[in-house]
């Protein structure tokens, strides 16, 4: 009978667990003035930013749900089936999904007073969404595997590295999807067919590409600038190359969901993201700002110094499924 | 008297049936009927798609052969190790046993990462090999079908090990004694007495390993992509990403069909009833087999195996937690404790530990309880229709976790009963995910208890609940605790379900580890996983102390 005593005392202990965390028992036991943010922005960044906002506006509580683009997409799809999206705010790196949601009438139009400081090509003219940060798809090099002078200077040369080159999978990551769509709209599928023939590796996402590069599994990788900048800061022997044709600058838009129960607090959050103070906070976290009057992080070129490829958003949104399927067939099967 | 007896048992059955309906059938139905929908109308388009593209065919075949090989390897290694650890005088077997079970607490994508770190093209072992041999590439490749089978086997053999070890412990030694007294040699006793007696446990464990490998996503996702080797679960994930909901559910249905076929197969193999009842009235503790001259050679083999599959990946994880960044040279200068300090200062990290402990403990307790009831009705009472319950309760094991999470949103996120955004929806999802484990392990436990004991009680006038309480439960304890741990450990680190269902304040350990990992904070993620591992070791020691070694590993 000793066993059952152990079991019962154990059960008694876990029965008290919910009292340590009162918020988890019911969704209702929460302050009225809260906004729920769905995001694929890295957890630390999203949390730190939410805290900075709440310091400004102590009357509002920001609650963050963070997952990969695909998970957020699946969650949104399931929620739309059962009574609508629960989030108040959406901040992803998958720009085309906003066009899709706008078409389905899921977004609320809001032109922030701060929006005039943001270049017109980084926001929706009707105010359904506005870029909140920029992340750049670049070529990263491990200098210990390939000398910097032998590294590719352009996207065109990238596939020549064959098995020594890695890229993220657009079926996992929103920013990779935008990149693939940009390449395909510009030059068709030829680049990918060549990459496949030469054996370019497709890895999960940008973090894995960066990690495997730092771990010397690859010589070069197509990945995001801020991840590489973070690794360089920690001492990894990596370098960033801005490709000759232009980097792909993926805007990470912020939007308000139409069904929000708290439009004023949601608007306040959007205003803060786009404000000078908000953008300067992001810069401190190595993020490229969207405002022309905020300087980029140290050692990073400003938006005007880099060449960018134009991104075909609406085309990408309309053809999202076709592009992903075709990529799967060429690169993965 | 008999009628009232019968009524009560059917009452119990209805209660369990209602539980399965709410937790398993209703949510999964929500997904399943959508696989026949196209823009709101009935259509077979998604299923036609599955058979139109050879890639999906191939994914199906890959899933089946990878899971078959994995299950076979798990059955061989799990049974051998269980036998060595339980029935022989192997030195240090208590510690070996704990070490064997530990890696199961690693999240499966973490296990894959640990192995990439070791065996990857630039892993620690590969680098050691380059230095020793002077070669430029390693003769093995972890990014391959073989690599997937290897990591899956290391991850799932434990399911066979635990069920077989439990069966060996509960075994009545008198049969073996009788054979020995009649002059049979050890080999013959093993082959003709011991092996047939533990066969249900081997098969039950093998089935768990088979379906586990079939439904695993983390390992083939990390190891298969570079080799362009796809299985059903990775294809389902892509279908969700495209997004093609119909295709994803159609592929999931195929996964369920494969699992159901394998279950039917196992059920058919186990039909011969009575052969496996081992625990009867007077139970003698099985004797230890003396290994004699083989004692130390076998010990070395087991120790090397344990070292490779347990100590090395755990060490590799702890090492990652201590490194400044991944791939940093292994010099003292690049070691740091800052990642541990960071995670303990993080609100989310502490909250996740509390939430996951709560969810895992409640899920393990409830599923074990329901599992023993289902098994009782199916294996012992043999009530009409109980077999269907048993079958239904096992289905979710074959459904990819992402699909289960979506099913839970579809079923339990709309009024009047909205659990969405609370811890309870994660709990319901865990109950669905882990009920099959509990049912399979309690099934093999009960199969070993002879009917004569319960019948004696019944003849003496004991009713159903006293019989369960006084006869069945005390005899099934060790098996139930093994089953409990089999649920608790993976639930503690569950990711795929929680990532879709968590909300602010209901983060789980898996979610936090994944989000850290995904943002490139691999070292911090490893630190959290190391802390969880530490908690499990402490918890296990406490359980063992409190129960005098009767429970725990």
pLDDT at residue number A110: 94
Nearest CA in chain A to B414: A82
Q: Of A172-176, B72-76, B405-409, which has the strongest mean pLDDT?
A: B72-76
Tell me if A232 sits within 8 A of A80, measured CB to CB. no
Residue A106 domain flag: yes
Same domain, A129 and A77: yes
Same domain, A161 and A114: no
pLDDT at residue number A140: 96
Nearest Cβ partner for A235 among B328, B409, B543? B328
Number of domains in chain A: 2
Same domain, A121 and A16: yes
Q: State the residue for tokens 């199916």.
A: B378
pLDDT at residue number A28: 46
Task: Give the model's confidence band at B274: pLDDT under 50 very low, under 70 low, under 90 confident, else very high.
Answer: very low
Tell me if A183 sits within 8 A of A110, measured CB to CB. no
Tokens found for residue B85: 């650890």
pLDDT at residue number A29: 46
**Separation between Cα atoms, residue B21 and residue B393, nearest integer Å:** 9
Q: Between β-strands A220-224 and A130-142, what pairing exists: parallel, antiparallel or unpaired? A: antiparallel
Tell me if B401 sits within 8 A of B217, measured CB to CB. yes
The terminus-to-terminus CA distance of chain B in angstroms comes to: 43
Nearest CA in chain A to B346: A44
Same domain, A151 and A67: no
**Separation between Cα atoms, residue B340 and residue B44, nearest integer Å:** 52
pLDDT at residue number A69: 79
Q: Which residues of A touch B512 (CB under 8 A)?
A: 43
**Nearest-CA distance from A236 to chain B in Å?**
7
Residue A160 domain flag: yes
Residue A5 domain flag: no
Task: Give the model's confidence band at B465: pLDDT under 50 very low, under 70 low, under 90 confident, else very high.
Answer: confident
Over 70: is that where the pLDDT of A156 sits?
yes
Q: Quick check: A215 and B327 CB within 8 A?
A: yes
Number of CB atoms found within 10 A of residue A65's CB:
23
* Interface contact A88, partner B, CB < 8 A: no
B149-207 pLDDT tens trace: 999 998 899 889 988 887 887 777 777 778 888 888 877 887 888 888 888 889 888 98
Q: Quick check: B500 and A74 CB within 8 A?
A: yes
- Which stretch of DSSP H or E encloses residue B236? helix B232-241
Exposed, middle or buried by CB within 10 Å (0-12, 13-18, 19+), for B545? exposed
Exposed, middle or buried by CB within 10 Å (0-12, 13-18, 19+), for A55? exposed
**Separation between Cα atoms, residue A289 and residue A134, nearest integer Å:** 6
Same domain, A235 and A268: no
B306-355 pLDDT tens trace: 888 888 888 888 888 888 766 666 666 677 888 888 888 877 888 888 89
pLDDT at residue number B523: 81
Number of CB atoms found within 10 A of residue B351's CB:
21
Would you say how long chain A is, in residues? 333
Residue B340's φ and ψ, nearest 5 degrees, are: -65, -45
Mean pLDDT computed over every residue of chain B: 81
* Interface contact A326, partner B, CB < 8 A: no
Same domain, A95 and A205: no
Domain B48-270+285-325 architecture: Orthogonal Bundle (1.10)
Q: Between β-strands A130-142 and A238-241, what pairing exists: parallel, antiparallel or unpaired? A: antiparallel
Nearest Cβ partner for A216 among B327, B351, B517? B327
Q: How many CA atoms lie within 13 A of B463 on its CB side?
A: 9
Comparing CA positions, the residue from B77, B236, B90 lying closest to residue B155 is B77
Residue A91 domain flag: yes
pLDDT at residue number B289: 72
Residues 208-227 of A with CB under 8 A from B: 208, 210-211, 214-217, 227
Same domain, A189 and A295: no
Same domain, A63 and A146: no
Task: Give the model's confidence band at A233: pLDDT under 50 very low, under 70 low, under 90 confident, else very high.
Answer: confident
B482-523 pLDDT tens trace: 778 878 888 988 888 888 888 888 889 888 888 887 776 778
Nearest CA in chain A to B218: A204
Q: Which residues of A touch B222 (CB under 8 A)?
A: 204, 208
Residues 232-261 of A with CB under 8 A from B: 234-236
Over 50: is that where the pLDDT of B1 sits?
no
Same domain, A202 and A320: yes
**Separation between Cα atoms, residue A182 and residue A188, nearest integer Å:** 9
Residue A2 domain flag: no
Q: Quick check: B244 and A321 CB within 8 A?
A: yes
Region B245-261: mean pLDDT is 83
Task: Give the model's confidence band at A1: pLDDT under 50 very low, under 70 low, under 90 confident, else very high.
Answer: very low
pLDDT > 70: what percent of chain B?
92
Same domain, A118 and A14: yes
**Which domain range does residue A155 map to?**
135-248+312-332
Nearest CA in chain A to B55: A333
Domain of residue A46, CATH code: 3.40.190.10
Tokens found for residue A257: 């969901």
Q: Quick check: B499 and A67 CB within 8 A?
A: yes
Tokens found for residue B291: 């290994």
- Which stretch of DSSP H or E encloses residue A107? strand A107-108
pLDDT at residue number B282: 47
Q: Which residues of A touch B348 (CB under 8 A)?
A: 43, 47
Exposed, middle or buried by CB within 10 Å (0-12, 13-18, 19+), for A29? exposed
**Separation between Cα atoms, residue B281 and residue B292, nearest integer Å:** 32
The region of weakest confidence among A24-28, B143-147, B193-197, B199-203 is A24-28
Nearest Cβ partner for A3 among B414, B516, B550? B550
Residue A82 domain flag: yes
Nearest CA in chain A to B219: A204
Q: Which residues of A touch B409 (CB under 8 A)?
A: 75, 78-79, 81-82
pLDDT at residue number B189: 81
Same domain, A287 and A218: no
Over 80: is that where the pLDDT of A52 sits?
yes
Q: How many CA atoms lie within 13 A of A277 on its CB side?
A: 9
Over 90: is that where the pLDDT of A167 sits?
yes
A91-145 pLDDT tens trace: 998 777 888 889 889 999 999 999 989 888 888 889 999 999 888 999 999 999 9
Comparing CA positions, the residue from B471, B469, B476, B445 lying closest to residue B457 is B471
Region A313-324: mean pLDDT is 87
Residue A4 domain flag: no
Same domain, A45 and A77: yes
**Nearest-CA distance from B299 to chain A in Å?**
32
Region B371-388: mean pLDDT is 83
pTM: 0.82
Report the C-alpha dihedral over residues B234, B238, B240, B243, rounded to 10 degrees.
-170
**Separation between Cα atoms, residue A91 and residue A80, nearest integer Å:** 17
The terminus-to-terminus CA distance of chain A in angstroms comes to: 58
Q: Quick check: B546 and A329 CB within 8 A?
A: no
Q: How many CA atoms lie within 13 A of A79 on its CB side?
A: 20
Q: Which residues of A touch B33 (CB under 8 A)?
A: none
pLDDT at residue number A27: 47
Tokens found for residue B128: 């050691």
């Amino acid at each position: 009978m000793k066993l059952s005593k152990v079991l019962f005392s154990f059960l008694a202990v876990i029965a008290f667990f919910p009292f340590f965390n009162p918020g988890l028992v019911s969704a209702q036991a929460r302050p009225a003035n809260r906004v729920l943010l769905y995001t694929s922005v890295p957890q630390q960044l999203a949390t730190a930013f939410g805290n900075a906002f709440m310091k400004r506006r102590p009357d509002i509580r920001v609650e963050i749900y963070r997952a990969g683009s695909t998970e957020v997409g699946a969650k949104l799809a399931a929620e739309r089936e059962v009574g609508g999206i629960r989030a108040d705010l959406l901040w992803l790196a998958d720009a085309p999904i906003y066009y899709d949601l706008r078409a389905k009438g899921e977004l609320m139009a809001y032109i922030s007073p701060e929006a005039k400081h943001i270049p017109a090509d980084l926001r929706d003219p009707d105010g359904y969404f506005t870029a909140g940060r920029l992340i750049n798809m670049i070529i990263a090099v491990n200098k210990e595997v390939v000398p910097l002078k032998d590294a590719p200077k352009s996207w065109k040369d990238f596939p020549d590295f064959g098995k020594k080159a890695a890229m993220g999978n657009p079926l996992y990551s929103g920013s990779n999807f935008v990149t693939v769509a940009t390449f395909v709209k510009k030059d068709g599928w030829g680049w990918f067919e060549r990459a496949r023939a030469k054996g370019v590796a497709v890895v999960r996402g940008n973090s894995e590409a960066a990690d495997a590069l730092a771990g010397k599994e690859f010589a070069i990788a197509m990945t995001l600038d801020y991840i590489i900048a973070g690794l360089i800061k920690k001492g990894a022997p990596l370098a960033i190359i801005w490709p000759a044709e232009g980097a792909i600058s993926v805007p990470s838009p912020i939007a308000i969901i139409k069904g929000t129960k708290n439009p004023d607090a949601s608007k306040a959050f959007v205003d803060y993201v786009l404000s000078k103070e908000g953008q300067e906070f992001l810069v401190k976290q190595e993020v490229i700002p969207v405002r022309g009057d905020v300087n980029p992080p140290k050692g990073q070129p400003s938006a005007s110094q880099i060449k960018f490829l134009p991104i075909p958003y609406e085309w990408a949104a309309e053809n999202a499924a076709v592009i992903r399927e075709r990529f799967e067939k060429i690169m993965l099967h | 008297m008999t009628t009232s007896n019968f009524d009560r048992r059917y009452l119990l059955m209805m209660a369990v049936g209602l539980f399965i309906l709410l937790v398993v059938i209703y949510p999964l139905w929500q997904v399943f009927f959508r696989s026949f929908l196209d823009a709101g109308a009935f259509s077979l388009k998604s299923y036609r798609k599955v058979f139109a593209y050879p890639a999906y065919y191939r994914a199906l075949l890959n899933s089946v052969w990878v899971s078959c090989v994995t299950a076979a390897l798990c059955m061989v290694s799990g049974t051998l190790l269980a036998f060595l650890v339980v029935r022989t005088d192997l030195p240090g077997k208590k510690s070996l046993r704990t070490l064997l079970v530990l890696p199961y607490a690693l999240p499966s994508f973490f296990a894959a990462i640990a192995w990439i770190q070791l065996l990857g093209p630039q892993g620690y072992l590969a680098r050691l090999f380059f230095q020793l041999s002077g070669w430029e590439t390693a003769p093995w490749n972890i990014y391959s079908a073989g690599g997937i089978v290897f990591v899956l086997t290391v991850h799932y053999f434990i399911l066979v090990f635990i069920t077989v070890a439990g069966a060996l412990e509960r075994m009545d030694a008198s049969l073996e004694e009788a054979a020995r007294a009649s002059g049979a040699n050890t080999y013959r006793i093993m082959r003709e007495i011991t092996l047939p007696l533990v066969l249900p446990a081997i098969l039950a464990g093998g089935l768990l390993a088979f379906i586990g490998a079939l439904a695993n996503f983390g390992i083939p996702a990390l190891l298969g992509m570079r080799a362009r080797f796809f299985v059903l679960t990775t294809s389902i994930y892509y279908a969700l990403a495209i997004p093609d909901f119909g295709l994803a559910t159609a592929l999931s249905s195929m996964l369920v069909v494969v699992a159901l076929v394998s279950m039917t197969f196992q059920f058919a193999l186990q039909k011969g009833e009575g052969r496996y009842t081992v625990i009867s009235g007077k139970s003698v503790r099985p004797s230890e087999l003396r290994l004699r001259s083989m004692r130390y050679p076998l010990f070395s083999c087991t120790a090397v195996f344990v070292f490779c599959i347990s100590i090395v990946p755990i060490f590799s994880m702890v090492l990652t937690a201590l490194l400044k960044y991944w791939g940093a040279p292994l010099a003292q200068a690049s070691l740091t404790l800052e990642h541990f300090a960071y995670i303990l200062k993080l609100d989310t990290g502490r909250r996740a530990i509390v939430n996951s402990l709560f969810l895992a403990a409640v899920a393990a307790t409830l599923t074990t309880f329901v599992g023993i009831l289902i098994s009782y009705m199916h294996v012992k009472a043999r009530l009409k229709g109980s077999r269907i319950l048993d079958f239904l309760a096992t289905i979710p094991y074959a459904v990819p976790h992402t699909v289960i999470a979506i099913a839970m949103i579809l079923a339990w996120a709309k009024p009047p009963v909205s659990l969405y955004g609370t811890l309870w929806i994660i709990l319901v999802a865990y109950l669905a995910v882990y009920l099959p484990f509990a049912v399979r392990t309690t099934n093999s436990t009960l199969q070993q208890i002879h009917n004569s004991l319960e019948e004696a009680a019944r003849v003496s006038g004991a009713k159903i609940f006293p019989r369960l309480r006084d006869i069945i439960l005390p005899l099934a304890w060790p098996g139930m605790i093994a089953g409990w741990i089999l649920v608790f450990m993976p639930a503690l680190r569950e990711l795929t379900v929680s990532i879709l269902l968590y909300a602010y304040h209901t983060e789980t350990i898996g979610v936090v580890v994944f989000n850290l990992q995904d943002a490139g904070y691999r070292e911090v993620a490893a630190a959290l996983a190391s802390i969880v591992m530490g908690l499990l070791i402490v918890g296990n020691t406490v359980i063992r102390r409190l129960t005098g070694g009767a429970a725990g590993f």
